[in-house]
Amino acid sequence: MAHIHLGEGSFPLWALVLWTTLGVALVSAVVYRIRKGGIETHQVALAGIGAAASFAVFQLNIPVWGGIHMNLTGLVGVLAGPLLGALIALVVNIFSAALGHGAVGLLGANTLVNATEAVVAYYAFKTLLRMDWDVFPAGASAATLGLSAGAVLMGVIIVVSGVNGSALPRGDLAVAVAGLVGLNLGVAVIEGVLTGFVVQFLASVRPDLVGVTDRAARGESTGVTA
């Protein structure tokens, strides 16, 4: 998750409409694909409880730079896949907005950002595993890549939209937003490393969850126990 959500009222009305439309289009496409393929009960259960876990994990304060919170969106993408990952991102955003984190009006924009993180993390993880990377570096790199893509997209959304009430030209706004993107990229690396350790832990106890069953026999123990 790009840790700092876009705040309510930040963008002019046209941008709110634009990002909401794009967010609805993305979610509609995902729902269409899922319905067309026929959703299984276990997928609904996994997505529902995965979203609950992602939402709950946000409560944990990670003591970096005075305290950061993470939803492990990259991990959600790796575990649930791109389609369910995108829906989980939406549901987590809805619940987060209800508790004052994020924005009701910018659910579309925040979902685009977080779905990007889950989707990129999923495909990066699969690609790196095919390249025979170990689980930890693959998980850490995939999550970092996904979260970085989300952070950059978030910066792009702000620059394209412009800040409500600001007379600053887009070029200067890009400079102003660079700090926010940089902060999110820093958090992406931390969350990426943490995700790598979590994926490594999961691979050691339930390799089927991260798709490394065939490697389990030759993999070494992480030394991490539940």
Q: What are phi and psi of 62, to 5 degrees?
A: -95, 120
Minimum distance of other proteins from residue 147's CB (angstroms): 15
CB-CB contact of 196 with 121 (8 Å)? no
Interface segment toward other proteins; rule CB under 8 A; list 100-108, 121-129, 145-153, 213-221: 100-108
Q: What are phi and psi of 68, to 5 degrees?
A: -125, 160
Minimum distance of other proteins from residue 205's CB (angstroms): 7
CB-CB contact of 151 with 181 (8 Å)? yes
Does residue 25 belong to the site contacting other proteins (CB under 8 A)?
no
Does residue 8 belong to the site contacting other proteins (CB under 8 A)?
yes
Binding mask 52-91 for other proteins (x = CB under 8 A): xx-xxxxxxxxxx--x-x--x--x---x-------xx-xx
Instruction: 65-68: list long-range contacts, CB under 8 Å, 24+ apart.
Output: 65/186, 68/3, 68/187, 68/190
How many angstroms separate the CA atoms of 193 and 64, rounded? 13
Q: What CA–CA distances, in Å, run from 198 to 10, 142, 203?
A: 34, 13, 8
Q: Which of residues 166-185 bind other proteins (CB under 8 A)?
A: 166-168, 172-173, 175-177, 179-180, 183
Minimum distance of other proteins from residue 18's CB (angstroms): 12
Q: Which is nearer to other proteins, 35 or 130 (CB)?
A: 35
Q: Which is nearer to other proteins, 42 or 130 (CB)?
A: 42
Q: State the virtual CA torsion across 129, 132, 137, 140 in degrees, nearest 10.
A: -10
Does residue 47 belong to the site contacting other proteins (CB under 8 A)?
yes
Q: How many residues bind other proteins (CB under 8 A)?
A: 88
Which of 13, 36, 218, 221 touches other proteins (CB under 8 A)?
Answer: 13
Does residue 140 belong to the site contacting other proteins (CB under 8 A)?
no
